[in-house]
Amino acid sequence: MTFHILIADPLSEEGIQPLRSLENVNIITDTNLTPDELGEKIADFDALLVRSQTQVTSEIIEKATNLKIIARAGVGVDNIDLNAATEHGIIVVNAPNGNTNSAAEHTMAMIMSLSRKIPQAYNALKNHQWERKKYVGVELKNKTLGVIGLGRIGAEVSSRAKGQRMNVMAYDPFLTEETAEKMGIRYGTVEEVLKAADFITIHTPLLKETKHMINAEAFQNMKQGVQIINCARGGIIDEEALYDAIISKKVVGAALDVFEEEPFLDNKLLELPEVIATPHLGASTFEAQENVAVDVSHDVGTFLTGG
Ligand code: NAD
Ligand code: MLT
């Protein structure tokens, strides 16, 4: 019996070699499918491999009459309808560890770019403007970094921030004061962290509970002149509320890798000079992409061979 595997988002070729080397496996890569096209094809496949772009909705799952496993080459499974998959007996696996380091490094790059206005100064210089007065930054040393979500990435960011001599304060519903102390981090409720932080970085999944958790009320509780970083998921920050908080000068800088709608052609936040941004690049390194592809290949291979 041949197992038919569809790779619907770009994955590292080196990473999927273990899957290619299996017997009786037919792998099709098609990374430009519209939702309708995916719906038309999906019944032909036993396994589906995706990153964050392909939306595996209940409509797609409804049509996936032979699908046995969906593999997400990355952490967040918010692009997969988990309830629909469960109802149809389809296993969902992800690759939670492979991109932790890359996402943490990207977050640090964003924090440092933000604090020293590097993207803005670079843009000005490229436009033949030598602007030394306009781009005065702030030091990170002795500033408080508020970490919302102290899981794998939040913990890695915290330890790097301590290397920058920042004071780290964190909120996570599973964090105890004792664990925080062992990590050299100050524990706080979400309100306490928002109130104390000079920089706030978000590292939670996008869930019903975290959607718009950083909203107008949360911005009100923050320090005047706070800077905010989101390398987790679009939708955790309410973009309208962030826009208003920047206009009112409550927030003086925002670094965004993720957006409520992706990909987009237009987003009014990008018109603000206080906002720096990357197009969902947190996990976009050769190392992370190979790691996550190896992990999902291993899981899909094990499953398809009866493991
Ligand atoms: P993780 O599961 O290790 O950590 C998430 C943490 O968030 C957990 O400790 C959890 O307890 C906490 N959390 C849950 N609900 C919370 C709430 N309401 N308030 C505060 N904390 C809460 O996941 P991770 O590997 O650290 O990844 C975090 C997120 O980062 C992923 O879900 C993914 O969406 C995103 N991510 C983005 C990129 C990127 O390319 N930008 C790359 C990797 C991961
Ligand atoms: C993730 O959740 O792992 C990230 O969104 C990275 C990605 O797949 O681009």
52 lines ligand 2 (CB under 6 A): yes
Does residue 1 register a pLDDT over 90?
no
Tell me which amino acid residue 90 is.
I
Does residue 190 register a pLDDT over 90?
yes
Alpha carbon of 204 to ligand 1 centroid (Å): 3
Q: H or E segment at 93? A: strand 91-94
75 lines ligand 2 (CB under 6 A): yes
The values of phi and psi at residue 211, to 5°, are: -60, 125
> ipTM score here?
0.99
The pLDDT of residue 121 is 98
| The ligand 1 atom nearest the CA atom of 171 | 20
pLDDT digits (tens, 9 = 90+) for 201-213: 999 999 999 999 9
Q: Hey, is 173 helix, strand or coil?
A: coil
The values of phi and psi at residue 4, to 5°, are: -105, 125
Does residue 306 register a pLDDT over 90?
no
Residues with CB under 6 A from ligand 1: 75-76, 96, 99-100, 103, 148-154, 171-174, 203-206, 209-210, 213, 231-233, 257-258, 280, 282-283
The mean pLDDT value of the chain amounts to 97
Whether the CB-CB separation of 224 and 250 falls below 8 Å is answered with: yes
Q: Is 40 left (phi over 0), alpha (psi -120 to 50) or beta?
A: alpha
Where in 126-247 does DSSP place strands (E)?
A: 144-148, 167-171, 186-187, 199-202, 226-230
Pocket test for ligand 2, best of 11, 50, 51, 152 (most atoms within 8 A of CB): 51
> CA torsion, points 5, 6, 7, 13, in degrees to nearest 10?
40
**Where in the sequence numbering do the catalytic residues fall?**
233, 262, 280
Ligand nearest to the CA of 208: 1
Mean pLDDT of 185-196: 98
For residue 143, the tally of other CB atoms under 10 A from its CB is: 18
Ligand nearest to the CA of 232: 1
Does residue 141 register a pLDDT over 90?
yes
Does residue 305 register a pLDDT over 90?
no
Mean pLDDT of 4-22: 95
Q: Hey, is 178 helix, strand or coil?
A: helix
pLDDT digits (tens, 9 = 90+) for 86-136: 999 999 999 999 999 999 999 999 999 999 999 999 999 999 999 999 999
Which residue's C-alpha comes closest to atom 2 of ligand 1? 151
Which residue's C-alpha comes closest to atom 4 of ligand 2? 74
Beta strands across the sheet bearing 226-230: 186-187, 167-171, 144-148, 199-202, 226-230, 251-256, 275-277
Q: Indicate if the alpha-carbon torsion angle 259, 260, 261, 262 is positive or negative.
A: positive
Maximum pairwise Cα distance, the chain: 69
Whether the CB-CB separation of 48 and 68 falls below 8 Å is answered with: no
Does residue 307 register a pLDDT over 90?
no
Mean pLDDT of 135-160: 98
Alpha carbon of 75 to ligand 2 centroid (Å): 6
pLDDT digits (tens, 9 = 90+) for 233-263: 999 999 999 999 999 999 999 999 999 999 9
Sequence-distant (≥ 6) Cβ neighbours of residue 75 within 8 angstroms: 94, 95, 96, 99, 100, 103, 152, 153, 205
For residue 22, the tally of other CB atoms under 10 A from its CB is: 15
Q: H or E segment at 242? A: helix 239-247
